[in-house]
Amino acid sequence: MDLNPPPSLSPPDSEAARRDADIVARLEQGDGAAAFERLVVRYEGKVHRLCMALLRDEAQARDAAQDVFLRVWRALGTYDRRSAAPSTWLYAIARNRCLSLLARRDPDHASLSVPEVWAEAEALAAPPDIVGEGPAALLARLVDALPVAHRSCLTLFYYEDRSVAEVAQMLGLPDGTVKTHLHRARKLLLAEFQRRGLDEPGLWL
């Protein structure tokens, strides 16, 4: 998955545009402070969760989320409502910020195309054998070992109350791509459980 696709635009009648209509109205009235306040109140949690899903580091995610809002505040004057809903724009800034941080941390994860991700998934090294570890910890570690694209989709899917549309908007991907990543991630997890002889759900759930 390329986590840095061309900016996905929200049509004026999209769900995001409808949800952000009040913010756009404030911006059109020239009340940037009120618009920004609403943006923070409504999206601080989501931006933080997006940063957590992508960065997997609490301190870095907190700093990145703050930096995202700071950048949004600085660039609020240049926001063009015709190009995307405020939340779409906000998520794009958040993704780019996280990708910059990831690129600094691990250049291989900065931008991966779908085939590369699948190849990475196929070649997924067996996670360290976990003996005597609880099922929840084992599952967490297996999720952690998933390729970045699958892991990001899967993590955000559960963070966002199993909403594919929300995950798609946050990651700037089509719904279908998110569903594909979710399907493949689950498949990989089940295969890994089976490989460990834990294919009976009752054993690990």
Partner 1 sequence: MDKTNSDSADARALQALDSALGRVLTPPPLPDGFRQQLMAAMLQDAAAELATRQAALEAEHARLLAGLKADHVRLRRDTLAIVVGSAFAAGAASMLLAPWLVEAWTLDTVWVGPVLASVLGLGLAGWAGLRRFGVRIGS
**Quick one: three-class SS letters along 176-201?**
HHHHHHHHHHHHHHHHHHHHCCCCCH
Q: Does 74 bind partner 1 (CB under 8 A)?
A: yes
Continuous H helices in 106-134: 114-122
Residues 176-195 that bind partner 1 (CB under 8 A): 186, 189-190, 193
3 secondary structure, DSSP code:
S
Rounded distance, CA 7 to CA 28, Å? 22
Q: Among 140, 165, 175, 176, which residue sits at the site for partner 1 (rule: CB under 8 A)?
A: 140
Q: Does 92 bind partner 1 (CB under 8 A)?
A: no
Q: How far is the CB of 105 from partner 1 (least distance, A)?
A: 19
Which of 187, 186, 190, 167 lies closest to 177, judged by CA?
Answer: 167
77 secondary structure, DSSP code:
G
Site string for partner 1, 159-178 (x = CB under 8 A): xx-x----------------
Q: Does 69 bind partner 1 (CB under 8 A)?
A: yes
The contacts of residue 106 (CB under 8 Å, 6+ apart) are: none
Q: Among 127, 139, 179, 196, which residue sits at the site for partner 1 (rule: CB under 8 A)?
A: 139
Q: Are 81 and 27 in contact (CB under 8 A)?
A: yes
Residues 28-47 that bind partner 1 (CB under 8 A): 40, 44-45
Q: Which residues of the chain form contacts with partner 1 (CB under 8 A)?
A: 40, 44-45, 48-49, 52, 58, 61-62, 65-66, 69-70, 73-74, 135-136, 139-140, 143, 154-155, 158-160, 162, 186, 189-190, 193, 199, 201-202, 204-205
